[in-house]
Amino acid sequence: MLIFAITTALILIFVPKYLFPIVVAMITWSIYYEFRNYSKYNFVEKYLSSAKNAQAWSTMSIFQSSAYMIGPAIVVYLFANRISSSLLFALLVTSLALVLFFLFEIRYGKNKFDINIERQIRSLFDEVKVTHVLTRKIWPLVTFSFALTLLDASFWTIGVLFSESLRLENPAGGLFLTMYGLPAILTGITAPRIYSHLGKKRTAFIAGIFAGILLICISLLENIYLILGMVFLIAFMSGIAFILIYATFEDYITRLDGDGNNMVSIGQISQNIAYVLGPIFFGIVSKDGNFKDSFIAAGEILIFFSVVALVTVPRKIKMPHKEIKEIVEKIFE
């Protein structure tokens, strides 16, 4: 992950600004982005017990959200001085992160929960079969993750346009996206403390239902300050749902005995599809300039899949070890 991030910065800084190098930089950046979640899940699995999964994802959420809030301000300041300054700063920070990671490995590597399982190399087709078996087992979680990500996509696409329309009415309207990012630290602190009674999955589904209802309610509001308050609550509820669903996937990864990356892939695919289809869908819904219709649609979709998951997902989902074993045995017969 870190190597691809550094490579992206190096290409953008030192390679001539022609189309092909820019395309290569975007490819390396997308690879970095995909590896990011794999590395997070892998790190938590190796260094922490499963009892701390929710706490781990909450902590990572706090730091990631803080970076998303602080980073743009730093970039704008550096960009004002010199165009490449922000890229050089990114390169410096990422390189420092790589050094710190190796120092961490030297200091704490012995504390890993090493899973000594020899994993046979499989073909792409066989990996797809294993992923299909897992998806059948957790499909309500997959659709819920998709719907939750669709909510996020609505804010980062239509939300940008809606924020500008609000700002034209009142300068405070420009805080629309700021209010969406603001509760992240609060959700990171709250999420690990509220799921003990209902469990991670059900707490996430209920938070998703509330987020969907609040998203629909935005269409009923005209007062900008009430809209901003509603956005804060939506971000708080969806943030809790995100953290707990990530922690739930982490639980399954721990139980999959070496096939955890397939589970990560399922989560990645569902989110990527939402980020690809979301802007297209919301663009069609709000083509007449009524941005609130997009939020209504995203809210309805989230409520529907949250209720489906709440009704269909059992308290404990058994991982299909037997079916995966049968696939592996057929490969090496």
| pLDDT higher than 90, residue 129 | no
So what's the pLDDT on residue 113?
A: 66
So what's the pLDDT on residue 219?
A: 86
CA distance 5 to 10: 9
130 and 104 together in one domain: no
Given 114, 137, 156, the domain boundary residue is 114
By CB neighbour count within 10 A (0-12 exposed, 13-18 middle, 19+ buried), where does 79 fall? middle
148 and 11 together in one domain: no
| pLDDT higher than 60, residue 118 | no
pLDDT digits (tens, 9 = 90+) for 181-211: 888 888 888 888 888 888 899 999 999 999 9
Q: What is the DSSP string of 102-117?
A: HHHHHHHGGG------
200 and 319 together in one domain: yes
132 and 74 together in one domain: no
Residue 195 CA: distances (Å) to CA of 17, 114, 118, 253: 50, 28, 35, 20
CATH of the domain at 225: 1.20.1250.20
Mean pLDDT of the chain: 87
Q: Residue type at 162?
A: F
> What percentage of the chain has pLDDT greater than the value 90?
43
pLDDT digits (tens, 9 = 90+) for 200-254: 999 999 999 999 999 999 988 989 999 999 999 999 999 999 999 999 999 998 8
| Most confident segment among 62-71, 79-88, 92-101, 178-187 | 92-101
Residue 80 C-alpha from the chain's centroid? 30
Given 57, 79, 114, the domain boundary residue is 114
102 and 136 together in one domain: no
Structural domain count of the chain? 2
| pLDDT higher than 70, residue 116 | no
pTM, whole model, 2 decimals? 0.86
So what's the pLDDT on residue 74?
A: 84
